[in-house]
């Protein structure tokens, strides 16, 4: 319960518009693995450049990812209700060529974003709480991926 509070409060403290935080997250992700950029069909002749990360397509995906995290935060008490959605989401990523190992990099990038946004409020228990929630999301997506 303490974990849920840490997650809810920190997520809320990022503000209403989560897209800028999503951009920080995906900038980090593409730094960790630039090859992931190529999975976006519209990334042709675009590198890990800020121009690419401001293209409508990337912003669209960033927005979708932030909405999924937002849904998970809103459903901390009943994450299982998102199961079918997440299984299906994992399957869709299998179809577009994303490997489950890459989901872990997204987790790392999420923590990186939280650390840079929260500053001193980013504590070990907070980090652990987010890791726990994210691992539930990724485990469902990975099961869907493998189906």
SS3 10: helix
d(CA 96, CA 66) in angstroms, rounded, equals 19
Q: In the set 8, 61, 91, 127, which binds ligand HEM (CB under 6 A)? A: 61
**Nearer to ligand HEM by C-beta: 75 or 92?**
92
Q: Binding to ligand HEM by residue 75, rule CB under 6 A?
A: no
* Widest CA span in the chain: 47
Name which of 86, 75, 68 is nearest 18 in CA terms: 68
DSSP assignment of 55-85 equals SHHHHHHHHHHHHHHHHHHHTGGGGGGGHHH
**Nearer to ligand HEM by C-beta: 40 or 112?**
40
Residues 6+ apart with CB under 8 A from 12: none
**Judged by CB under 6 A, how many residues of this single chain contact ligand HEM?**
17
Residue 87 C-beta: closest distance to ligand HEM, Å: 12
**Nearer to ligand HEM by C-beta: 21 or 93?**
93
Residue 40 C-beta: closest distance to ligand HEM, Å: 5
Residues in contact with ligand HEM, shown as a per-residue x/- string from 26 to 55 under the rule CB under 6 A: ----------x--xx---------------
**Nearer to ligand HEM by C-beta: 106 or 113?**
106
């Amino acid at each position: 319960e303490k974990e849920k509070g840490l997650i809810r409060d920190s997520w809320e403290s990022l503000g209403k518009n989560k897209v800028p935080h999503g951009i920080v997250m995906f900038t980090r992700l593409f730094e960790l693995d630039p090859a992931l950029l190529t999975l976006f069909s519209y990334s042709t002749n675009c590198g890990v450049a800020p121009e690419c990360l401001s293209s409508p397509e990337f912003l669209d995906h960033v927005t979708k990812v932030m909405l999924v995290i937002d849904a998970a935060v809103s459903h901390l008490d009943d994450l299982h209700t998102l199961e079918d959605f997440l299984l299906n989401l994992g399957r869709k990523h299998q179809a577009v060529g994303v490997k489950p190992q890459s989901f872990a990099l997204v987790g790392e990038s999420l923590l990186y974003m939280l650390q840079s946004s929260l500053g001193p409020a980013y504590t070990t228990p907070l980090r652990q709480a987010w890791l726990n929630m994210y691992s539930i999301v990724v485990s469902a997506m990975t099961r869907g991926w493998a189906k």
